Amino acid sequence: MKKIISFIFFAGIFYGCSSSDSATTAPPDTFYRGMDLSFQHELSGYGVLYRNATGNPEPLLDQVQASGANLVRLKLWHTPDGGLNGLNAVKAYALELKQHGLSLLLDIHYSDTWADPAHQTPPAAWQSLTTEALRESVYQYTKNVVTALEIQGTPPAFVQIGNETDSGFLWNYGKVWDDFDDNWGNLAAIIAKAAQAIREASPSAKIILHHSNVENARYYFEELQPYAIDFDVIGLSYYPQFQTKNLTTVQTSLNALAQNFDKDVMIVETAYPFTFGYDDNLTNYIGDASQIVPTYPATPAGQKAFLDKLTEILKNVPDRKGIGWVYWAPDWVAFPGNEATSTTGSAWENQALWNFDHVVLPAINAFQP
């Protein structure tokens, strides 16, 4: 039997005409129900089939579109091995999103690999730069990638500056943990250059700053507040196994963030199990009742009810500042691969939105407007 472990998982795959004719522009009062499909470039190479409610194979994005989802989040790495999550991959998938009428949330990690509070390694190409050169590189790179999406007619609705940047990012230039707790000015200057580039390249895009924890994010935005950074949305991760299981606390925290900083709030990463079982030999991130909200069991119905409750919570944020949520890796089902075993590998299959037969689960209906 697979050993289940619990540890802090800071998740973060992927991937033409002018922006004025883009099919991905949404009204300003849109409530977003999204999916992070950043694994698709990799999974599609294994021929993974996703089945609709009747059990028949159907292209993933056709099912996503039919579900009522209106946003897809894709992470971008600077110079990744094999091109996974690189700009060309993001651009290619963005074209597919446009064909399905789905808006894009571009999640720029500013790294060649995963970035999260414990890992914020600058791209190899930037690691010997001076502070000023680093800031200029952030500006030019950000402007180039956003411009590239604009040029091909797939402008992002949102651009996220860094991924789960509780500790800062681009260490040690923008690190604010450990011995760098007086480094907030440097972090703010880097973020400001990225924000400037986004405004110049895509004035309609909303800028997101992302913290990994709904209940503990206030300090981060208080530290940045004196620098008057230009951004629009407080992005948050909410995984009950790592954070509060009291949904009243989630509501209170979101309300306070929206009101204290006069920003929209969005949960840009969340997920919930439909079972504690497993479908391969790789350790899962969640596997027992101590890791979930007691009111919502690890069942298909419980998974959907959790997402419905999250929608209710966000819609109850004052002044309509709760603008949506994004489900992280709903497509990361068990698949033949090299994740950690010689057979199959997904650490997430019991939190996917397709079951172990790859048939879509009832939670897909939580994406309906």
Which pLDDT score, from 0 to 100, does residue 2 have?
A: 39
* Residue 17 DSSP class: -
DSSP three-state, residue 140:
helix
3-state secondary structure of 103: strand
pLDDT at 27: 67
- pLDDT at residue 344, as a whole number: 54
pLDDT digits (tens, 9 = 90+) for 322-344: 999 999 999 999 987 444 453 45
How far is Cα 279 from Cα 30, in angstroms, rounded to an integer? 36
Per-residue model confidence as pLDDT tens digits over 277-312:
989 888 899 999 999 999 999 999 999 999 999 999
User: What pLDDT is recorded for position 165?
Assistant: 98
What pLDDT does 72 receive? 98
Instruction: Report phi then psi at 162, rounded to 5.
Output: 85, 160
**Which residue type is seen at 156?**
P
Token digits for 350?
Answer: 């019991």
Q: What is the signed CA dihedral for 165, 9, 260, 249, rounded to 10 degrees?
A: -170
- Sequence spans of domains, the chain: 19-367
Q: Which residues are catalytic?
A: 164, 269
Q: Measure the CA–CA gap between 353 and 307, rounded to whole angstroms.
A: 11
Residues of the chain with pLDDT under 70: 1-28, 337-344
* CATH class belonging to 19-367: alpha beta
